[in-house]
Amino acid sequence: MSSINTPRLIQKRGYIVLAFTAAICCVFIIKLFNLQIIKGSLYETQAKRVSEHIVNVPAQRGLIYDRNGELLASNSELFSVSIIPAEIIDKKEIPQILSRVAKVLNVPFAAIEYKVNPTLYSSRVPIELSKEATLDKITYFSTRIDDFPGLYWASKPKRNYLVTGSGKTINHVIGYIGDITTEELQILYNQGYTATDSIGKSGIEHYADRILRGKSGQRFVTVDAVGRRLGENEQAFITPTNGKNIELTIDMRIQRLAEEALGKRRGSIVILKPASGEILAMVSYPVFNANLFGMKGKQGFTGQALDPAFPFINRAISAEYPPASTFKVAMAAAILESGLYPANKEVFCSGSMIVGNMRFRCHLRSGHGWQNLNAAIANSCNIYFWTVAKDYVARDENGRSSIDRFTQMAADFGYGHLTGIDLPGEKSGLVPTKEWKEETYHAPWSGGDTMNMVIGQGFVLSTVLQAADAISIVANEGVIYRPHTIRATVDPDTGVRTETTREVLHRSNIKKETWKKLQSYLRSAVLHGTAWMLNRAVAAAGKTGTAEIGITGSYHDWFVAYAPYNSSNPDDMVAIAVFLEANERNERYEWWSTKIADMILQGIFANQTYSEVVRTLQPWYMNWRAVPELTPPPESIQYVQPIAIGEDN
C-alpha cells in the first residue's frame, strides 16, 4: 500500500513546493513592482536627500553711509572654503587632502589640521578653512574636484572700512565684524546663524547685525557614496536676500572737524541735534583700525587689543567720569525749583570753607567775593553751591539732612540712566544716594559726600553722551530726545527707505521760568565767565568743568554747550560735549575742551574745515593756541560779579 502511494505522494509534495515557490516569487515580483514603479520616485527622492548636502550662500552685507551719502563700509568679493569630513569615506586620506588644500590656499598645514582634528572626522557640519580665498584658487579646486572630496566654497564678501585718514574715529560708531564664536553660535543658532558666519562685534555692525547681514541662500549639492560631487539641484536653489543699507545720522564733515580739533588727546566729543537726538559726530580717541586685524604684531587685532590706551573703548558711551562743574547746571535747577534760596541772594566766596574737620577749597583760591546763582554758574564758584546745598537745599521738610532734591533733579537731567542709544556697550553712569552708599560701602552718607556731589565729584559718574543730553534738555526747555546714530535703512533691491522716527526719552516737569534762567546763566558763563573764549562764530551758552582725579595736578577737562543761543528754529541748534582725560604725563589740558568746542562751533556755523578754522581763530588764540603751558591760568580770568537775571552783557 505504501509502495503504491509513494510516487503519488512525492508528486503531490512537488506541487506544493512549486506552488509555494511560485507564491514567494509573486510576492517578490509584487514588492519589486511596488518599489520600482509605484514608489520608485519617492525612494529616488529619498536617496538623493541622503546624498544631498546643503551649502549656505552668504548674502551681501548691507553698506553703511553717512547722512550725506559718503560710503563708510563696503564689501569686496572673496570666497570661503569649507570641508565636510564625513563625506570622505577613507578617513586615512583626510590628512593628505588637507595638505593639498593648505598648499593651494598658501596657508600653514598645521593651521588647517588644527581646525579639522581627528575628533571631527565624522562631522557633517562644514568646517571653514579659509574666508579670503581668491577666484583663481576656487578655479583650481573646481577643475580638480576629484582630488578634493568634501570640499565646498561660497562667495563671502570681505568687509572694508573706507575711512582710514581724517575721520577714522568713526570706527567706534561703525564697529567691526568677525567670525562667530562657539558661544555666540549656541545663542544665535536658532536665528539662522551658522558656524561659518561673520557677525558684528561692536558698533552699528553689532547693533544692526540682523539688518545688515540679510538672509543666506542655500545650494543643494549631490555627491556619490565616496563623496564625489555629482552636481547641484538648481531648481531647489534658494537665492540669498541681501542685507539692508544703513544711513547714519553722522555728518562726516563735522566728524572730521571734531576729530582734528581733539587731536591725539585721549578723550571724547559728542555733537547732537537737541531737537531730534540725531548724533552728528561721535569722536573717541584712541581708535582701532579694523582693516589691520589680519596682520601680525602691534597693528593686528591682538596688538591693538593689548594697547594700554584701550583703543576699543568708545569713550563717548562706554566710559564713566565725574562730570565736575558741568553737573552744577542740574544742581542749579534743584536750587531754583526748591525755592529755598532766592536766585539773587548772594554768598561770599573767600576761596575756602570748613565743614567739620575738613577744609573745602574753591578753584579760585583767592575767592570770587559775593556771588549770586547767576555769577556762581558763570564763575563756577564751588563755595556758593556748597553753602546753599549744605545749609538750605539738602534738607527735608523737617530740616533734616537730605539729598533727595539733588538726586531727583540729576535723574531729571538724564544722569544715572541709560539713554538707549542704538550702539552696544553703553554705561549708565551713577547718581549716588544714601541707600546706595550704605549698600556699596556699608557706611553712612556724610556731609562731605553732599559737598562732593553738588559739584559733580565724589561718587557721581557720567558718560560724555549723558553730558550732551544734560545740556540738550536746557536748550529744549525740558525735553530729551533719545540719541541715535541710525537715520534710515534702505532696501538695496526695492529702494524702500525706512526713517528712524524722533522719540522722546524724557519730559521734565520743571517750570519754564527755571529753564529760561538756566539758559541766561549759561550765556553769562560765555559772555563773562569761565567760558569767555567761546563767543565768536555763533552765540553760544555753555558750562566748563574740571574734575580732580586724586593725582596732584591731574584733571579731567569738560565743556558742554549749545548754539545758537535763543535760536528761533530749534532744528538749527546743536549741543556739544567735549571731554579730555587726565594723563600720566600731567599735561595741562585744563580749558582746552572749551577751545576745542570753539573750533568745532566755528567750523560748523562758518562752514569751515579745521585748517580754515585755525587760520580764522589764530589771531584770537595768539601764541598760546597750540601751547597748553602758555594758556592763561584760571586766576587770570576776570570773573563776573553778580548780575541780575536776564541781563546779557
Q: What's the confidence (pLDDT) of residue 351?
A: 93
Q: Across the chain, which distance is largest between two alpha carbons, in Å?
A: 149
* Residue 177 CB burial class (10 angstroms; 0-12, 13-18, ≥19): buried
- Helix/strand/coil for 467: helix
Q: What's the confidence (pLDDT) of residue 33?
A: 65
Q: Higher-confidence residue: 301 or 53?
A: 301
Q: Give the chain's radius of gyration (CA, Å).
A: 36
Give the DSSP letter of residue 281: E
Q: Please identify which residue in the block is written with the cell numbers 598648499.
A: 103
Which three three-digit cell numbers place residue 47?
536617496
Residue 44 reports pLDDT greater than 70 = no
Report the relative pairing of strands 369-371 and 574-580 from DSSP bridges: unpaired
Residue 628 reports pLDDT greater than 60 = no
6-15 average pLDDT score = 70
Q: What's the confidence (pLDDT) of residue 59?
A: 82
* Number of alpha carbons in the 13 Å side-chain half-sphere of residue 201: 16
Which three three-digit cell numbers place residue 253?
564733515
State the CB neighbour count (10 A cutoff) for residue 555.
20
State the CB neighbour count (10 A cutoff) for residue 383.
23
**Model pLDDT for residues 442-455, shown as the tens digit of each residue:** 999 998 999 999 99
Angle at 62 between CA 57 and CA 66, to 5 degrees: 165
Determine which of 11-15, 94-98, 113-117, 399-403 has the lowest per-residue pLDDT on average: 11-15
193-198 average pLDDT score = 82
Q: What's the confidence (pLDDT) of residue 5?
A: 57
Cβ-contact 615, 626 below 8 angstroms: no
Percentage of the chain with pLDDT > 90?
Answer: 54
d(CA 435, CA 592): 37
Which three three-digit cell numbers place residue 247?
544711513
Residue 193 reports pLDDT greater than 60 = yes
268-282 average pLDDT score = 98
Q: What's the confidence (pLDDT) of residue 179?
A: 87
Determine which of 1-5, 368-372, 462-466 has the lowest per-residue pLDDT on average: 1-5
211-225 average pLDDT score = 76
State the CB neighbour count (10 A cutoff) for residue 411.
14
Q: What's the confidence (pLDDT) of residue 294?
A: 73
Mean of the per-residue pLDDT values for the chain?
86
Residue 318 reports pLDDT greater than 50 = yes
- Helix/strand/coil for 556: strand
Q: What's the confidence (pLDDT) of residue 389?
A: 94
* Residue 57 CB burial class (10 angstroms; 0-12, 13-18, ≥19): middle
Percentage of the chain with pLDDT > 70?
Answer: 85
**Model pLDDT for residues 515-548, shown as the tens digit of each residue:** 999 999 999 999 989 998 886 779 999 999 998 8
Q: Higher-confidence residue: 272 or 632?
A: 272
Q: What's the confidence (pLDDT) of residue 568?
A: 87
pTM value is 0.82
The phi and psi torsions of 600 (rounded to 5 degrees) equal: -65, -45
Residue 621 reports pLDDT greater than 60 = no
Cβ-contact 536, 598 below 8 angstroms: yes
d(CA 219, CA 80): 14
The phi and psi torsions of 591 (rounded to 5 degrees) equal: 75, -5
